[in-house]
Structure 1
Amino acid sequence: MVTYTGEVKPGGPAHTRELGSLTITKVAVDEQMSNNCYLLTCKHTGEAVLIDAAADSGTLLSLIGSTPVTHVVTTHQHWDHHRALSDVVEATGAATVAGVPDSAPITEQTGVPITIEVGDGDTVPVGTCTLSVIAIAGHTPGSIALLYDDPEGHPHLFTGDSLFPGGVGNTQGDAGRFPQLIGDVSAKIFDRLPDDTWFYPGHGNDSTLGAERPHLDEWRERGW
């Protein structure tokens, strides 16, 4: 492990960030798609949650090791975010979590039942820590973000493919989906959370809401 910067590459080392009660470990998988996967571990109980078993089950299971993973959360239904779901669930026995509108498509694509369907305001435990679910429609109907509001520091937000440094997720030029996505991101994330919120996307580097907030109008104007 190396000091956390959030800049990870497939085949490279994982990066770990130590919070007061939670450890966040980020690893990238698959040279083509470069998906980010996040292992969140409670320092009090040792229990963990994996966000997006995207690919390369060997990498993920090596990262997990003997850590008891209680839940695997899939942020949305797109194929590149759940290719290792079956292997990870089989190895860990973890419960599976996804947004209600995306749960059936995830099961259809992976053969893995979603045992906990979530929506806005639901929670996912990480030992004694808690992730709050934020439903963000637009990239997919059931995309979710996960908020850890660190009582000893600033908030940490795992955004899947709904928010990146530089813009919201891809809506394939759909005239209806982009307004839905930018509206949800604006109202449920930027309007509610402070500038020092650090967010962790499904691909690429991290950012803060403060760094991205000045560009919201620009994103709306360009339409993507």
Structure 2
Amino acid sequence: MSYTGKVTEGGPADVRELSRLMITKMVVGDFGNNTYLLRCRRTDEQVLVDAAAEPERILSLVGRGGLAKVVTTHQHGDHWGALADVVEATGATTYAGAHDAEGIPVPTDVLVEDGDTITVGDCTLTAIHLVGHTPGSIALLYDDPDGTPHLFTGDCLFPGGVGNTFGSKENFDSLLHDVTTKLFDRLPDETWFYPGHGDDSVLGAERPKIPEWRERGW
């Protein structure tokens, strides 16, 4: 079956097979968080994006292949609830945005700045710093050399709008600016993005809605 990105709480993971990278999406925890396991198809190295909750299920997903790295997209607790247990079990190196690391109670081994790269075996993720949902949120871009780009957006971009900015006009303006200039203005319509909660989408489906988001202010 082809990948849809539609996963449910307690349900099976969905797997996308790219030419060089495997992407496995699973929902964990009480807040419907998406966790993503990335595996390089040549080296079998695995990297997890957001050890959000339910460490036993995440470790079952990781399996015997081991886990090299865990990237936390931002400092909110629903995105790192399983981090300590996953790191203790696997010895994985931790990564997080430099401006959010202090808000994550598990020590961050590598502080990530805008434009930094994180390898998954022979594959490369590029960090994109997006300010507004939190000060140090990062998205992760896999620019597939054999296909379309793939983007892990944390809680900064969802189908239907940018992430929650908690009533702050300043934070909303900042996040919408960063999402517009760093994502929509740089990446093509066919870019598939994977958010921190809920279903996936492509940038082309969301691009026409940006004026509506700006007008409504959330």
Shorter-chain TM-score range: over 0.9
Find the counterpart in structure 1 of residue 89 from structure 2.
91
TM-superposed deviation, 1:91? 0.8
Tell me the CA shift for residue 3 of structure 1: 3.9
Q: Which amino acid aligns with 2:28?
A: V
- For 1:68, the equivalent position in structure 2 comes to 66
SS of residue in 2 equivalent to 1:214: helix
Measure, in 2, the Cα distance between the counterparts of 1:165 and 1:125: 27
- Among 187, 196, 207, which residue is 1:193 paired with? 187
TM-score by length of 2: 0.99
Residue number in structure 2 paired with 1:172: 166
User: Which stretches in structure 2 are left out of the alignment for 5+ residues?
Assistant: none
Query: Which digits, 9 at most, give the CA deviation of each residue in 1:6-30, with x for residues without a partner?
Result: 0001110000000000000000012
1:1-224 correspondence to structure 2 within 5 Å: 3-30=2-29, 32-107=30-105, 112-224=106-218
Distance 1:93 1:4 in 2: 30
CA distance in 2, matches of 1:3, 1:11: 20
Deviating beyond 2 angstroms after TM superposition, the runs of 4 or more aligned structure 1 residues are none
Q: State the alpha-carbon separation in 2 of the partners of residues 3 and 93 from structure 1.
A: 33
Q: Distance in 1 between matches of 2:65 and 2:102?
A: 28
User: Matches of 1:177 and 1:34 in 2, distance apart?
Assistant: 24
Matches of 1:74 and 1:67 in 2, distance apart? 20
Amino acid aligned to 1:70: A
Amino acid at match of 2:127: V
Backbone CA RMSD of aligned residues: 0.7
Q: Distance in 2 between matches of 1:43 and 1:58?
A: 24
Q: Report how far residue 175 of structure 1 moved.
A: 1.6
Counterpart amino acid of residue 3 in structure 2: Y
Cα deviation for residue 67 of structure 1 reads 1.6
Instruction: Tell me, yes or no, if the aligned pair for 1:156 and 1:198 is still in contact at 8 Å.
Output: yes
SS at match of 2:100: helix
CA distance in 2, matches of 1:3, 1:212: 22
State the 1:63 CA deviation.
Answer: 0.3
What TM-score comes out, normalization by structure 1 length?
A: 0.96
Aligned length: 218
Structure 1 alignment gaps of length 5 or more: none
> Partners in 2 of 1:114 and 1:25 — Cα distance?
24
Q: Is the 8 A contact 1:46 1:68 kept in 2?
A: no
Q: 1:69 Cα deviation (Å)?
A: 1.3
**Contact residue 38 and residue 52 of structure 1 kept, 8 A:** yes
Matched-pair contact (CA < 8 Å) for 1:23–1:41: yes
- For 1:69 and 1:22, the matched residues in 2 are separated by 15
Letter in 1 for 2:22: T
Letter aligned with residue 176 of structure 1: E
Counterpart amino acid of residue 213 in structure 2: W
Q: Structure 1 residue 143: deviation in Å?
A: 0.2
- Bigger Cα displacement from structure 2, 2-11 vs 117-126: 2-11
Deviation at 1:4, TM superposition (A): 1.7
Deviation at 1:68?
2.4
